[in-house]
Chain A
Amino acid sequence: MTAPTEETHAPDLLYSQAEDDLRAAVRSLLADRSDAPTMLAHVESDTPYDPQLWKALAADIGAAGLLVPEKLGGQGASHREAAVVLEELGRSVTPAPYLTSAVVATETLLALTAQEGPADGLLGELAAGRGVAVLAVPFAAARPGAAQPVGVMADTLEGTVTGVADAAAADVLLVPTTDGLYAVEAGAEGVTVEPLVPLDLTRPLATVTLHGAAGTRLADGASAVAAVRRGLLAGAGLLASEQLGLAEWCLTETVRYTRERHQFNRPVGSFQALKHRMAQLWLEVVSARAAARNAADALATGSPDTPLAVAVAQAYCSGVAVHAAEECVQLHGGIGMTWEHPAHLYLKRAKADSVAYGTAGQHRETIAGIVELPAP
């Protein structure tokens, strides 16, 4: 019997050469197609996504299929590589359904491949970048079954799911129901995707309503719950890498700005009151990198430590991203408060991410259970 606190795997927390190469390709694409003025021009539409960018990322670079085995049409890579893609997407707060489709929906479907059923074909479509699937659960959900309002009557689906991220970009909705997991075409009769006004304009939310909608049953009740749990665990774990990338951008940009901005005949970045805050933030970013890499490596290697590694990464990185974005706004002074400067996009993404797939507090509760530090 292993003690609850014993580390069961030796994580590799560095980046491989292949991961560095992938990062360079993604960063170059995003620098070309997802600069701040372009994003600001599109974020107030219901679909801020850029289909050309998605095709380049998902299909040409092959990022959508990183988690999918080669025999199912994917790249046969792992969560470590997907985490690097998410770092870059976080660095640019690009609106793209990567986390929701290429990670959460894909991982949910990967849990069902043993059945050799319809999930396999869907995975092939996702991996090739030919389709986008989204798991129809609230973006704030930390675990499956928190709310499962969709029922099945006479083989059609009835119910409403609120706060679904990237539903507007989805070709297929993966819907957990009282009767297992269903795949539903987003454009099918009886399916309504109603956009909400999101805090984070770079990741649209929608209410999904199913009224007499037909779907394909992918899994029964028990395996559906397990699959959704696996999807959400991967989502939470890799969200930490998005938060890391976001925090890095905020720190880099704040350092750059405070070196150039002069007040009192000095660069404002020379004042200790400011530079200590940025040094503290650097330390948080360095720490977030270790936590995020640990979670990605645990997911990639199937470590028994994965639930703990993911909960630690989320409990830590959520706060770092929010802190970095808040410091970014404050240390930019007045310009940080304007719509034209992109800092607000990062603040909104960071704050929304801190609720996504469970708050830091919810993840700490999970940790309390795993390492046996129970509440009073």
Chain B
Amino acid sequence: MSASAIQVTDLRKVYTVPEREAGLQAALRSLIRPRVREVQAVAGVSFQIAPGEIVGFLGPNGAGKTTTLKMLAGLLHPTSGEARVLGYVPHRRERAFLSQMTLVMGNRNQLQWDLPAADSFELQRAIYRIPPAEFRATRDAFIELMEVGSLISKPVRNLSLGERMKMEIIGALLHRPGLLFLDEPTIGLDVTMQRRIRNFIASYNQRYGATVMLTSHYMADVEALCRRVIVIHHGRVLYDGPLSGLVDRFATYRQISLSLSEPADLSAYGEVVANAGTRVTLRVPKAEISLLSARLLAEQSIADLTIEEPPIDDVIERVFATE
């Protein structure tokens, strides 16, 4: 096995998609001369992930995140390039590889709908050939961690979305995989449920030293779990490094939050992003922060002034909008 849990070199996936214009004429024409177009979903990405790392894999819809995850999980054959995951070539889908990893996709139901989750867990035991004692110990520990003891005997169809997601995650981790691909695991869940799932992932990572690759549109997930992020856009890696570095590299502005003694128009100092009477937030260029702070303190009646880095999702949104 190589030193990296995941090693990806110039990985590409090109889809050939049929294409035709609207209308009857175009439909007839396409019968005789069908037209196809090549779409590069992943256009040559390279990165390495060390064992035990939790890495956020970020990008807007259609950036190539899920396609990359599917290639790394062995669901898709890459068009070119190389991927080694836990020392295996994923698309060969060897039994030993599949037994050591899991891919959890948000809103995906792998549990038996009409049966209690306990029955689906039992099936997972047989599929992954988990020794019975180990299975019971893991199941009970996860049930306790997720606080779902009272729900285990209820048919899955009677569970709420959040409860179902907890059960999905337990089911996906019963075989204690060393590698987790988590694709939007908290999508559609309320903040309490999101937090509980985040805590579970963090404690799983600590307890078993598992490597985690996480995609999420909720920056709270990324901020809570990932010290490193890989940002992908148009199928290419745009940034790979610490989460904090993302702000340094891409945020060309800072935010100044002000408490004023009396309401005032501050639009001459920068872009007003929030204005609630005496509480105002300004967005100003990073290079001018010292100068503008000094001017504000000198020219306005200010009770409090705080300089903040912009919210991470704001930074990411701007990166994707400008690239």
Chains A and B form a bound pair? no
